[in-house]
Structure 1
Amino acid sequence: MPSSPARQPFKSPFNVAREAALRPVERFEVGERVTHDRHGLGRVTACDGEAAVYVDFGHGVRRVTLPTSKLHRL
């Protein structure tokens, strides 16, 4: 008899990954102002499709992989 996958409790941390996969990937435009939880304010300088964006935070350009919950549009 085949076993069914184990059900996760409602507040299980394993449900977070499943919910994140269901959220649409946020798209950013070149020149758009953003804020990052760690690096602060910045401006998008380039986009690498849906994989990453390059953001100039004033102290250097950083590559931020997508999807991320740390980068927010202003």
Structure 2
Amino acid sequence: MTNMRMPKRHLPSSPFKTVAAPPDRFFAVGSRVTHDVYGLGRVTAVEDGVAVVVDFGALLKRVASPYAKMTGL
């Protein structure tokens, strides 16, 4: 019988759980986004991956990275 290697599984309560890196989000000028607090908007400026400026209609808001509450459409 051969010894087949199975991938290691980590329990949710394990102190040795591997930490997954959050995916990088890139927004381009003109792309449509949605924010959990401010709603729908359009990116008007990008500051070298550090922050983006979004036009939410009556409000211009600077949203800093890691953009936890914002997703692209």
- The TM-score normalised by the length of structure 1 is 0.70
CA RMSD of aligned residues (A): 2.1
User: Does the residue aligned with 1:26 lie in a helix, a strand or coil?
Assistant: coil
| 1:55–1:64 CA contact under 8 A, matched in 2 | yes
* Structure 1: runs of 5 or more not aligned: 1-8
* AA of the residue aligned to 1:10: S
How far is 1:10 from its partner? 2.5
Partner residue in 2 for 1:53: 52
Tell me which structure has the larger Cα radius of gyration.
2
Partner residue in 2 for 1:10: 13
**Distance (whole Å) between structure 1 residues aligned to residue 14 and residue 39 of structure 2:** 31
Deviations 1:18-53 (A, max 9, x none): 54xx12320100000000000000000000011100
Partner residue in 1 for 2:3: none
* Structure 2: runs of 5 or more not aligned: 1-11
- Number of corresponding residues: 60
**Distance (whole Å) between structure 1 residues aligned to residue 35 and residue 24 of structure 2:** 16
Q: Percent identity among equivalent residues?
A: 47
1:43 aligns with 2:42: yes
